[in-house]
């Protein structure tokens, strides 16, 4: 009789384990995210081609908080939102500003604020201390960005040479080789460049207005509410602060 009881109990245990596993999987959320790894320290690619940076770590932390995994999907910067619209990914996490023209198409969840900066050569030899000082200068910028749009709006009025490059690091590289006098980017990018090239680059001008980076998703998609809830928990438990510290980003920017 004891053997019979045991043999009957085993299926019951197995069913309970399967039910628990099924319940856990129902609550787990996996998502894919589009990213352009050319904007360190937010995102960059290692020499082996693997994505790294604040946004990459944050995406993985969000997925872990939701009990799932995050799948990285490469995209050009200008192709990020089109890729989202074409369902190539569930969200966009790639150091992309929250702006009215973008949120008219896709909702966004803000997770960090920062300031735009004119990055110049160490010591600021060309004396670039405001946008007006770009007159007659050579300026580099990442293509497809709001930085590029802003500079194009100034170019006709001030008169300067503007060259666009695939990545933010490519643009800053033009300062290092003497082909550009300034690059319009973000204070986070400037801090990264200054840490990698001590004394060779500096901030000539820091814009007073704050920008916000956001996570974009498709209208009506439930992933938005799930990520917003997970993001709130990562802020509350100090995960975002720890990631900011890891990448030398002011911790106040993620609060």
Select the more confidently predicted residue: 157 or 21.
Answer: 157
Q: Domain of 173?
A: 116-210
Is residue 13 scored above 60 in pLDDT?
no
> Taking the model in full, what pTM does it have?
0.83
| pLDDT tens by residue, 37-47 | 999 999 999 99
Per-position b or e across 100-113, b if 16+ CB within 10 A of its CB:
eebeeebbbbebbe
Q: In angstroms, rounded to a whole number, what is the distance separating the alpha carbons of residues 172 and 107? A: 31
Helix (H/G/I), strand (E/B), else coil: 120: strand
Do 216 and 197 lie in a common domain? no
Q: How many CB atoms lie within 10 A of CB 117?
A: 22
Does any domain span residue 4? no
Q: Which of 20-34, 96-110, 127-141, 224-238 has the lowest mean pLDDT?
A: 20-34
Do 105 and 221 lie in a common domain? yes
Beta bridge partners of 121: 201
Do 205 and 134 lie in a common domain? yes
Share of the chain above pLDDT 90, in %: 87
Beta bridge partners of 115: 210
The reported pLDDT for the residue numbered 29 is 75
| pLDDT tens by residue, 195-205 | 999 999 999 99
- Say if CB 152 and CB 146 are below 8 A apart: no
Do 94 and 218 lie in a common domain? yes
Helix (H/G/I), strand (E/B), else coil: 168: helix
Nearest to 42 by CA among 190, 170, 183, 166: 190
Q: In angstroms, rounded to a whole number, what is the distance separating the alpha carbons of residues 128 and 88? A: 41
The reported pLDDT for the residue numbered 31 is 98
Do 18 and 38 lie in a common domain? yes
Does any domain span residue 49? yes
Do 134 and 247 lie in a common domain? no
Mean pLDDT of 139-162: 97
| pLDDT tens by residue, 70-123 | 999 999 999 999 999 999 999 999 999 999 999 999 999 999 999 999 999 999
Looking up residue 104, the CATH number of its domain turns out to be 3.40.190.10
Does any domain span residue 2? no
Mean pLDDT of 40-69: 96
Do 74 and 167 lie in a common domain? no
Cis geometry, peptide bond prior to residue 41 (ω within 30 degrees of 0)? yes
């Amino acid at each position: 009789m004891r053997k019979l009881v045991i043999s009957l109990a085993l299926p019951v245990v197995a069913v309970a384990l399967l039910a628990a596993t099924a319940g856990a999987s129902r609550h787990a959320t996996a998502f894919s995210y589009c990213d352009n790894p050319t904007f360190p320290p937010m995102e960059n690619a290692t020499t082996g081609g693997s994505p790294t940076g604040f946004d990459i770590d944050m995406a993985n932390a969000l997925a872990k908080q939701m009990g799932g995994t995050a799948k990285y999907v490469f995209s050009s910067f200008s192709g990020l939102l089109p890729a989202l619209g074409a369902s190539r990914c569930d969200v966009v996490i790639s150091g992309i500003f929250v702006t009215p023209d973008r949120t008219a198409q896709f909702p966004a969840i803000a997770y960090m604020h920062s300031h735009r900066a004119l990055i110049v050569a160490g010591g600021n030899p060309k004396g670039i201390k405001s946008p007006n000082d770009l007159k007659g200068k050579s300026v580099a910028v990442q293509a497809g960005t709001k930085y590029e749009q802003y500079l194009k709006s100034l170019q006709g009025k001030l008169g300067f040479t503007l060259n666009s490059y695939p990545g933010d690091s490519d643009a800053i590289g033009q300062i290092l080789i003497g082909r550009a006098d300034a690059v319009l980017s973000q204070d986070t990018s400037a801090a990264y460049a200054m840490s990698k090239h001590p004394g060779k680059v500096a901030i000539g001008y820091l814009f007073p207005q704050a920008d916000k980076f956001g996570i974009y998703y498709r209208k009506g998609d439930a992933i938005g509410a799930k990520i917003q809830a997970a993001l709130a928990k990562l802020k509350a438990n100090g995960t975002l602060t720890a990631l900011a510290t890891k990448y030398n980003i002011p911790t106040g920017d993620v609060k």
